[in-house]
Each structure stands twice: as structure tokens, then as C-alpha cells.
Amino acid sequence: MKINISNREICTQTNGRFLTEPNDTIIDNISYDSRKIIQSKGILFCALKGHFRNGHLYIENAYLRGVRSFIVSEEIETTDFQDATFIYVTNTLWALQEIAKHHRLKFTFPIVAITGSVGKTMVKEWAYHFLSSKLRVIRSPKSYNSQLGVALSLLELNENCDVALIEVGISKPNEMGRLKKIIQPTIGIFTAFGSAHKENFPSLESHLQEKLALFTDCKTTFFHSSIPLNKEQINIIKGISVTNEALIPYQNEIPFTDNVSIHNLELAVELANEFSIPTLDIHSKIGSLPRLALRMETFEGINGNLIINDTYNLDFDALTQSLEHQFLVANNRQRVVVIGLDDESKSKKNEIERIIAPFHPEKILYLTADSEIEKIENSVLLIKGSRKSDMQKIARQFRLKNHKTYLEIDLNAIRHNLSVFKSYLKPETKILAMVKSNSYGSGTEKMATFYEQQGVNYLGVAYVDEGVELRKQGIKLPILVMNAEEEGFEDCIHYNLEPAMYSFRQLDLFIKELIVEGKTDYPIHLKLNTGMTRLGFEISEIGQLIETFQAQPEVKIKSVYSHLSDSDNLESSDFSKMQIERFEKGCKELSNNLSYTFDRHLLNSEAVCRFPEAQFEMIRLGIGMYGYSSNPDFKSKLQDAIFWKSSISQIKTIEQGESVGYGRTFIAEQKMKIAVIPVGYADGFRRSLSNGKGSVYINNLKCKVIGRVCMDMIMVDITNLEVNEGSNVEIIGHQQTMENFASQMETIPYEVMTSFSRRVHRVYLED
């Protein structure tokens, strides 16, 4: 980003006013996350207000990092920020968009705007693949297509460019009009129209009109022929329907056959034709279209390393974002940058070093796919390279385990789900994210760090040792320990963990430990039984509790909470409402007899949308963050975040009469073909799924388990499939959902997730 603008120009563009005398700083870059500020010269800090964070709370942190220009939407006491310029606006996001709009007006080259329910990122990347052979192309980083992402993408425009590809996404009414004004696209691409975000629009027609609003002033709009537009709509957007005719010259080179990829390719080729890319160039590029996921993946590596695998491309903007991400997750661990070299990137080495230098990693390695790797320990490794450099080979060498069965945790989906929950809450309501039981199987350390970055207010664990591990990993959020036991009290205090108290005996023992440690006003959480009939003080015991707290200065109530036992009962709310009344009664009695206030929390994931009136000061989220709910209407707003995958180890042909597996419980009735898959009951694929009860999906077709599930393997019927050893296998995913799989196991998603073995590799995906 090099926007080259003064504070006075920014104030004029945003219709703002100065809270302080403006300094003479020339702004080259805009930051909205104080944690990512590496060098402060020429930085404008934009204090955005989001679902989880208020950027105004981080102004001091940005100032201490050297930033001296700020744009705010709250009145700021500026006396503590000498020599800093503050520009006040009514809405900081809108102000940022105005800056982006004025920056866009500096350039006359074509802007291609790409929107659609699916396929935006792939069409953008494939179009880049074709156009970059002849043109200087700039494009939205990864999936930067939101109200914020579009503005940041436009701010990357510069004079060394012939065309820009801007990805555009919306989720609510009236968003597209604002984006259109700042993009002012020349050419449009409409990839697909489906059900994504349909719940936020009054009708499909209104949703479609919102999408089309982006293209009303384009000179040309390419839309896929599968989108049902009428003649009037086509005329308004100057639409050209794209069909498979676009691919006729390239039939022999296309490396895939699925309809989604074909549709995306048709649009990318049509855009290449629009920019007069020679047919021979398209021929030469079409066989090497990037097929890797466009998302960064993070996983545990050998020798105590954390690996950030971002080997899709090596353009400079992507490198900067990856370095920022590495800096953010490192938590003071040593940072190592591994750059994959090919012939093209060798010529860019000086520029690559210039970009890396401000981040001051402890080590930079330039490797090829066949390089010998020196031993690296206890570091955060960023592996970056173009597709040609084949750095996936290097990334694979750093993997901790070679188990072919792995979990994908989609952090983008979890971020979306958090936003959905937040939309039901008052702005001041806090969120406690549960990370017990290895964060429902998704990995405690990684998820706790992620939640901390997302701005949740509290973490919840089951036992003290779980909280201790989080503290050792640098987690600073308050941590509530729900089942604090006597043996862990000392660690609880030493690691600043906050235990839940549920009995007088436990409370008395903890107070005695505090007396030994010389502690007063130690934060504890009070657990009430309102109907679950599990751990917790009875409402009738509140009076005795009050006497204890009035007499014991060692403890102070931080929060009072209880559990709803029937929140997923969609037929009746009576019992839950009774629990809410009991909880309110108990909290009121406590509050009336204590000299301080405390937080209250009762709602779990299932209850947030059903009883928003009982959100109190905090809610607790668990499995709902991963996209699971028994409420169909609410479930439709969430995105699944857990995918369990494997691959075929071996394929066998067996004859009629041959048996498969332990106990010979399956005998082939005819000649058939089976696949052996490396997943078993030691991984969480329960033995009860034997003999056709369980299944997996291969090539989108259901394949039943035959014979008994082994500790480390299953065998499935693939008689009617043409697949190879190494082919991908979906255990849980889009074809077989978590709910489907849990139903086969006669259990619930909670048990499935908490049964995932630690030996199953975890991969974290993030845009």
C-alpha cells in the first residue's frame, strides 16, 4: 500500500474534523489492527468498531508502537497523545471506504468487479493466471471481499498496473450500493447465484437485485448462463451470457471435469478474451491452473515447530500479509521465514528481502523443493513460495505426523459463526468461549489463540491443568475453570486461573489455600443449580453463601452462572423459563447483599437465539461455534467448521466367498472391489460402525464399511467406483455432515468431536 496522502486531505475526503492540530505526516499505509503494526512511519490507524473489538481501545497500543495519525468515531482525550493527529468522523469504516474511493479515482485502468454466491476467489485467481501473461495485474488478496476487504483491496491500486481484479461479497441488504460507489467497476463478472446469505433478504428476487446493483454502470458484465436473468436485467447490466462454448478451443488441455470448475474456467477464459490474451497463451496456461486451496493452513510441525503453510503464491502483497500473520501468532517464539525459489522469484530476491526486513525474523531461508533442510526447533515457520517452486514438498517434511487421516478446522467458518451469535447480543454482552476437552477436539492451544485474536472476553476449561497449559502458551485472557479440584488449587492461583465454586467444602478448601498464599479478593465464579441437578449450590443455600462472602475477604465473586438442561427442546420452553426465573432470583439475592457487582451467565449455544432476553452480562459458546445446532432455522445461518478426511491406502479385488476383517463378519457374495482407509476406532471412528452401519464418501458417492472397524483401519465397498490408491476420502464434510455421522454412531456431535484422537493431524484453514 502506497497511498501518499496528507492528514488534511484525509480529513476533507472523510468529511471529518480535527481533534488536534494536524501534523505534516504523509500517509502511505492504513492499519486497523495495532498488533500488526511493524513499522509506524506513514501509518494511519483507523479505529474500527466490529462485532468483537472496538479499535478505540487499542489507540494507546498503536501510539506506543509509534503511530501518530488516527481516525476515530469517539471523542478522545488527546492530552496523553502529544504530537498525534486525531481526525473525528461519524463512522470509521465509511471513512476508510471514502479514502479508498478517492484513491481509486486516481487511476483510469479497467477495474473488474467479481461477485457471486460461490466461485469468486477461484475465478479471480484463474483470471489473474491468464491475464498476467501479458498485463500487469493487481487483485484482491485471498478472499478480501467484505465491506472492509474491498476498501483495503482498492488501496493497493498503483500506477504500475494495467488492470485490477476486485472480489466483492455481501451478506446484507444495502451493502452492494456502497461498494459499487467506491469500486466504480469497468467490467463485471457474476459467477453464480445461490442460497448463501439468503436468510438476510426478504426474497430471492431482492437478493438477486442487490447483486446486480454492482454492475449497472459496467460497460460489460459476464454472467454464467446458469444464472436466471431476464431480458431487462441483462440489458441493465449489459450482460453477456457465458457458456461452455468459451472452452471449445481448449478441450484437450482442461485438467478437470467437475461442473463447478468448468463454470469458473468459462468465466476466466471469457475475461481473458475480453483483454485480447492470445489463444496460444491461454493454451499454455490452462494446464497449469492453480488447484490448491487459497487459504493459509497452520499445523503442528516436527521439533516443536508451528508451521504456517502459505505456498500458493509469492506476490508481494500476499507475502506482507503472511508475515503479519506469522508475527501475530508467534507469541514471542522465534520466527523463521522459508522462501521457495524458482527462476522468477530469484530475480525478485532483493524486493522480497526488502519486504521481510521490517518484520525482523530470526532467520530467513531460501530453498528449492529439493533442498536439504537444517534442523529448526521451537519456532514459527512461515513457508511461502509460488506454485512453481513446489514448496508443498518442504511443508510436508515439517509435518509432525504422516497419518493420512486428518481434521480440517475452518477458522473462517468459526469467525462467521461467532458473528452470527454476536448478532443476537447486545453490544456490551460478553462471550465466554469453551475450550475444554481439547477445544471439542479441534486443538486447545490454537483455538484459544484464535479466540483471543477474535476478541472474545473469556475462555472456559474443565480442569486446572488445561488452563495451566494455556498460560504456558502465552494466553492472557481470563480463564474460568469449571471443575477446579483441590489438587489443582495451588496451580490455579499461581497461573491466575479463576475457579468455579460449587460446594461449601470446595469453597472452604480454596479459601484455606488463599490464606496460605496470602491472597485477598481472588476472583471466583459461583455455580448455581437451577434444574440440571449436577454440580452447584442450591438456591436455598444463597443465604449461607452470603454469610461466607461477607466474612471471607480472600474471595470475590467474579460471576454467577448456571446451566440450562433443556435449551434444545424446541417443543417447549417451560422448563428453561423456570430455570431462568430461579437463576434471576438467586442472583438478585446475592446482589442485594454484596457491596460489589458481578457478571451473570446462563445461556449456552442453543439458548442464545431462543432466550435473548436472558443473555445477562455474558453467554457461553461451545459446539455452536463449529456450526452445529438442533434448531434448523438457526443452523441454516451457521457454517460447518470441522471436516474429517483421509485417503485410500490400498485397493483390493476380492472374489465371491472371501471374508473381510476380524471375525470374518463379512463374506463377499460376489466379486467386488474394496478400499482400505487408515482410520479406525483409535482415531474416533467407532467400532459400532462396522458391517454397513457406517460409511464414507469417495468421489461424492457413499461407500459402506464392510467387516469390522479395526483399531487403525476400515474397509469400504468401492465396487462401482473408478478410483486410485491415494484418492481422497470424506469421513465428515459436505456429503456426510457431522450430524449424519453422529446419527450413524447413535450419538451427538459433541461425542464425535471429543472422540477425535490426538494422533489425527489438525490443519487450520484461514483466508
Residues 6+ apart with CB under 8 A from 585: 539
Q: Considering the domain delimited by 642-766, tell me its CATH architecture.
A: Beta Barrel (2.40)
> How many whole angstroms separate alpha carbon 556 and alpha carbon 538?
19
Three-state SS at 737: coil
> How many whole angstroms separate alpha carbon 386 and alpha carbon 757?
34
The answer to whether residue 436 is catalytic is: yes
What homologous superfamily is domain 296-399 in, according to CATH?
Mur ligase, C-terminal domain (3.90.190.20)
More confident residue, 257 or 450: 450
Beta strand pairing status for 85-88 and 111-115? unpaired
Instruction: Scan for cell 463377499, then name that residue.
Output: 668
User: Which residues face 335 on adjacent strands?
Assistant: 380
pLDDT of residue 333: 87
Going by pLDDT thresholds of 50, 70 and 90, the confidence category of residue 401 is: low
- Residues 226, 153 contacting (CB under 8 angstroms): no
Helix (H) or strand (E) holding 226: none
Q: Read off the pLDDT of residues 64-96 as tens digits, 9 standing for 90 and up.
A: 999 999 999 999 998 889 899 999 999 999 999
Helix (H) or strand (E) holding 414: helix 411-422
Phi, psi (rounded to 5 degrees) for 500: -90, 135
Q: How many beta carbons lie within 10 A of that of residue 288, not counting itself? A: 12
Q: Residues 172, 173, 179, 181: what is their CA dihedral angle, to the nearest 10 degrees?
A: -170
Q: Read off the pLDDT of residues 115-158 as tens digits, 9 standing for 90 and up.
A: 998 889 889 989 999 999 899 999 988 778 889 999 999 999 99
> How many whole angstroms separate alpha carbon 555 and alpha carbon 553?
6
- Give me the percent of the chain exceeding a pLDDT of 90: 70
More confident residue, 202 or 496: 496
pLDDT of residue 557: 97
**Domain limits, the chain:** 5-97, 107-286, 296-399, 409-635, 642-766
- Residues 575, 566 contacting (CB under 8 angstroms): yes
Lowest mean pLDDT: which of 32-36, 259-263, 279-283? Answer: 259-263
Residues shown for the chain = 767
Question: And the C-alpha cell for 640?
Answer: 460447518
Kindly state the average pLDDT of the residues 728-755.
94
Beta strand pairing status for 220-224 and 187-190? parallel
Instruction: Scan for cell 431462568, then name that residue.
Output: 580
DSSP 254-304: -----HHHHHHHHHHHHHHHHTT--HHHHHHHHTT---S-SSEEEEEBGGG
What homologous superfamily is domain 409-635 in, according to CATH?
Alanine racemase (3.20.20.10)
pLDDT of residue 118: 81
Closest C-alpha among 235, 230, 241 to residue 218: 235
Going by pLDDT thresholds of 50, 70 and 90, the confidence category of residue 319 is: confident
Question: And the C-alpha cell for 39?
Answer: 513499522
Q: Which of 436, 446, 527, 645 is catalytic?
A: 436
Closest C-alpha among 175, 23, 173 to residue 97: 175
**How much is the pTM?**
0.80
Q: Read off the pLDDT of residues 460-494 as tens digits, 9 standing for 90 and up.
A: 999 999 999 999 988 999 999 999 999 999 999 99
Q: Read off the pLDDT of residues 648-695 as tens digits, 9 standing for 90 and up.
A: 999 999 999 999 999 999 999 999 999 999 999 999 999 999 999 999
Going by pLDDT thresholds of 50, 70 and 90, the confidence category of residue 739 is: very high
pLDDT of residue 144: 80
Cα 582 → chain centroid: 37
Q: Read off the pLDDT of residues 40-63 as tens digits, 9 standing for 90 and up.
A: 889 999 999 977 788 999 999 999
| Of the options 3.90.1150.180, 3.40.50.300, 3.40.1390.10, 3.30.70.270, the CATH number for the domain spanning 5-97 | 3.40.1390.10
Residues 6+ apart with CB under 8 A from 244: 262, 266
Kindly state the average pLDDT of the residues 361-377.
84
Residue 293 has pLDDT above 80, yes or no: no
Q: Considering the domain delimited by 107-286, tell me its CATH architecture.
A: 3-Layer(aba) Sandwich (3.40)
Q: Read off the pLDDT of residues 519-529 as tens digits, 9 standing for 90 and up.
A: 999 999 999 99
Residue 724 has pLDDT above 80, yes or no: yes
- Residues 492, 464 contacting (CB under 8 angstroms): yes
Kindly state the average pLDDT of the residues 604-618.
95
Q: Residues 741, 747, 753, 759: what is their CA dihedral angle, to the nearest 10 degrees?
A: -80
> How many whole angstroms separate alpha carbon 102 and alpha carbon 497?
49
Q: Which of 172, 596, 652, 662 is catalytic?
A: 662
